[in-house]
Amino acid sequence: MDFQQLRVFLAVAEELHFGRAAERLHLAQPPVSRIVRQLERDLGTDLFIRSTRSVRLTVAGAALVAPAQEMLAAEQRARATVLAADRGEAGTVTFAYAGASTHVLVGVLAREVRKAHPGIEFRLYSQDFALPALARVLRGEVDVSLGRWDFVPAGVRSRIIVDEHLVVAVPASHPLASKKEVHMAELAGEPFVALSPHEGSVLGDRLRRLSLGAGFDPDIVQRAPDSWTAMALVGAEIGCSRTVSSVAQNVTAPHVRFLRVLDETLPIHLRMAWRPTSDNPALPPVLSLAERVWPGRPDDAAPQE
C-alpha cells in the first residue's frame, strides 16, 4: 500500500464513480481501476461493490477511509516540515547566555523568534560564565552565545550587542548609597563580594585593574556563583560588588544601590557569537532577526573569515 494507491482510493471513495475520480486525478479510467484492484489484492479484500449502475464502499472500504486520510495528511505534513527546515523556517537554534545581565535581552529575542518563525524552536541554556559559553560555540554544541570577551577566536563571528560600563553595587545602608557615581579610591578598605574566579573573567580583570590603579588590593570576603547571588549578598550587607550596567538595569534589588564607576578602564562589550560555517539552516533567520531586535553594531575587532 503506497500513497498513490491511497490517493486513488480516496478519490473513488468520495466520488463513488471511477470516471469522475479519474477526471479529478487527471488520469485515464483504466489506470484508476488497475490501482484500486492492486490495492484490494494487497489488502486481501474488496473495497468497493461495483455494478453497471453504481459503485459503493464495502465495510472494509469504509473502514479504510479515515486511516487513508490520516496517512495522506501525515505525508503532507512531513513534506512541509522537510521543506520548511530546508528553507530555515523550522528546526532548532540553541543559545547560551549569562543569566542575570542578559535574561531580558534573551527573552525579547525569544518572543520575536516565536512570532516571526513559529517553526523554529529556540532552546536556551543559561551559563554562569562567558568563556564556557564561547567554548560551546566553538565545539558546535550551541549555535549562539552571549557574553563578554576581550577576544574572539578565529572561526567565530561576533556582533556587539551592548556597550556597557562598570558599576559598583553597595548596600542601601552604605554611606555612599546616596551617590550616583563613585571613584574606585573611595572604595579602598571596603569588603567586596566577587564572582568565583575563572579564566577570561572580564569583571575580575577590571576589578583588579581599577583597584590596583587606585592603590589598593580588593578585600574579597565572599565569592558568589552568579550575579543574582552576588546582589543578594550585597543586599545582606556582606560587602560591595563590582558588576556591569546591564545587571543594574535587569536585577530588582530593593536593598542594593548601584553607583557608576568614574575611573577609566578598558571597554566592556556584550557580544553575540556564532560560527559562520554552521550548517544549521534555522540559524540565519534567527541571526537576521537578532540584528533587528538588538541593533548593536558589527564587531570590528573580531577575526573575520
Q: How many CB atoms lie within 10 A of CB 81?
A: 14
Return d(Cα 273, Cα 145) in angstroms, integer.
5
Q: Please state, rounded to an integer, the average pLDDT across all residues of the chain.
A: 87
Closest CA to 180 of 261, 82, 84, 61: 261
Task: Give the model's pLDDT for residue 118.
Answer: 84
Confidence band (pLDDT; 50, 70, 90) for 5? very high
Task: Give the model's pLDDT for residue 36.
Answer: 94
What are the distances in angstroms from CA 145 to CA 9, 20, 67, 126, 285?
Answer: 52, 58, 45, 10, 16
What are the distances in angstroms from CA 153 to CA 134, 157, 173, 199?
Answer: 9, 9, 43, 15
Which cell is 144 given? 549562539
| Tens of pLDDT, residues 182-193 | 999 999 999 999
Which cell is 302 given? 573580531
pTM, 2 dp: 0.65
3-state secondary structure of 61: helix
Domains and CATH numbers, the chain: 3-86 (1.10.10.10), 91-163+268-298 (3.40.190.10), 164-261 (3.40.190.10)
Q: Which residues, 6 or more positions from 99, have their beta carbon under 8 angstroms from its beta carbon?
A: 126, 127, 128, 226, 227, 228
| Better-predicted residue by pLDDT, 82 or 289 | 289
| Mean predicted confidence (pLDDT) in 112-117 | 87
